[in-house]
Structure 1
């Protein structure tokens, strides 16, 4: 899940797994990050769809297509939209406090509407599908446990810290606003999402989970070959439109 401003991600995918099939194959190309991720897709317990508020990729039509694809392959699907640190990100990009608050409120109103309508349009999928705001999950015991462990790893493991820092630098780039403020805001935004990127089964009490996004996250590229912080049962899938 990237940051609110529309961003072009590095076009890297399919590092470990092969393309997988499902209803909706004419719409998406699905590439698991690793062979282990491919096995989790085949198992089909749970899919997490990360949605960035303010990102035009997630139109109502695209979200309905994603729900259809995942809803025919996984037993349950959660659409998670980030509603924390948006105003901080906008302020770091140059908005004043009032402008940032208005932009964040507008972006969240819009993404909630698109998610709701997409779910209504694809209400016949076999999976249990629900929408979650990130703020609704931060008090879950699994989220708190995962975040505490991740904070320790960030403090003690230079590899994990470097991976997160490089992820943020890749995303925020040379955009508007002071570089230091953008980086700090990006790190706060990423930290809030890390429990889901690295340990969704623990957070949501599901057996296994696959995070689905349309590009391979830079964080995963940085952690490749040193994935001890990614908990067992956590998978990643690049679900890209054909």
Structure 2
């Protein structure tokens, strides 16, 4: 699924990262610079210690507060649903979670010679937080009661987990449910990070488009991101591309970036 942004939103390229706020409001929140939350997935080679260090330095120059939150809930169940024995799934999940936490801490520590106050936490640390628990219950409610939201969650599950399904097979009901649980644990931070972390406004940043973003930020009803919650794709700056010269009689119609 291709997520479209407001055509009036320009793409900014700052330092070594490219920033694509999803809506005009998301851009305004980005410009406010109150807070950014960088979500990190275990087992994702994108989040090397070097990449985390670059993100930490870059984000600290632009935001008053920076949080890294990594997914550490339902990871063992994900492995089990895709064929691992329970014991092997638990060992593999523990290894992946430990590794991603180590990489984040290493990357952040490398940036602390200039920046401080960056927080690193797992999703499990919020399980008893009353605001997080309330938001999580809302997510689960809409997952059952809102067909459009559920379809968005299905697209997100297939987007991230489809490669793990053997060719010619479909994702099973059990696998889909585990994916839902994994996604639901993350979604409170896409809906209302300011209330969870007590910040004026917040940008949830990830390096790829999320299939649920359009549901949370673009539609008129159902589960919606709060007004002071933003989403932006933040990814390494693409190599500079050559721009062909305008031909006679045709102006350069590129939108300024």
Give SS of 1:173's match. helix
User: 2:110 maps to which residue?
Assistant: 121
Q: Deviations along 1:105-124, whole A, 9 cap, x unmatched?
A: 11111111111111110014
For the residues of structure 1 that align with 2:3 and 2:106, how far apart are their CA atoms? 31
> Is the CA contact 2:216–2:225 (under 8 Å) kept in the aligned structure 1?
no
Q: Say which of 78, 93, 118 aligns to 1:104.
A: 93
User: 2:82 maps to which residue?
Assistant: 93
- Give the Å deviation of 1:52: 0.4
User: 2:68 maps to which residue?
Assistant: 79
**Relative to 1, partners in 2 of residues 1:12 and 1:67: Cα closer, same or farther, differing over 3 Å?**
farther
- Give the Å deviation of 1:127: 6.1
Q: What is the TM-score with the length of structure 1 in the denominator?
A: 0.87
Q: Say which of 41, 51, 64 aligns to 2:30.
A: 41
For the residues of structure 2 that align with 1:183 and 1:114, how far apart are their CA atoms? 29
User: 1:214 maps to which residue?
Assistant: 207
User: 2:47 maps to which residue?
Assistant: 58
* Cα-Cα RMSD: 2.1
Unaligned runs of 5+ in 1: 1-9
- Give the Å deviation of 1:19: 2.5
Larger CA deviation: 30-39 vs 173-182: 173-182
User: 2:148 maps to which residue?
Assistant: 159
**Relative to 1, partners in 2 of residues 1:12 and 1:64: Cα closer, same or farther, differing over 3 Å?**
farther
User: 1:6 maps to which residue?
Assistant: none
Q: What is the TM-score with the length of structure 2 in the denominator?
A: 0.82
> Is the CA contact 1:37–1:237 (under 8 Å) kept in the aligned structure 2?
yes
> Is the CA contact 2:49–2:106 (under 8 Å) kept in the aligned structure 1?
yes
Aligned positions, number: 230
**Correspondences of 1:182-221 after superposition (within 5 Å):** 182-221=175-214
Give SS of 1:237's match. strand
**Relative to 1, partners in 2 of residues 1:125 and 1:163: Cα closer, same or farther, differing over 3 Å?**
farther
User: 2:244 maps to which residue?
Assistant: none
Structure with the greater alpha carbon radius of gyration:
2
> Is the CA contact 1:155–1:161 (under 8 Å) kept in the aligned structure 2?
yes
For the residues of structure 1 that align with 2:139 and 2:22, how far apart are their CA atoms? 21
Q: Deviations along 1:68-122, whole A, 9 cap, x unmatched?
A: 1111101001100111100011111111111111111111111111111111100
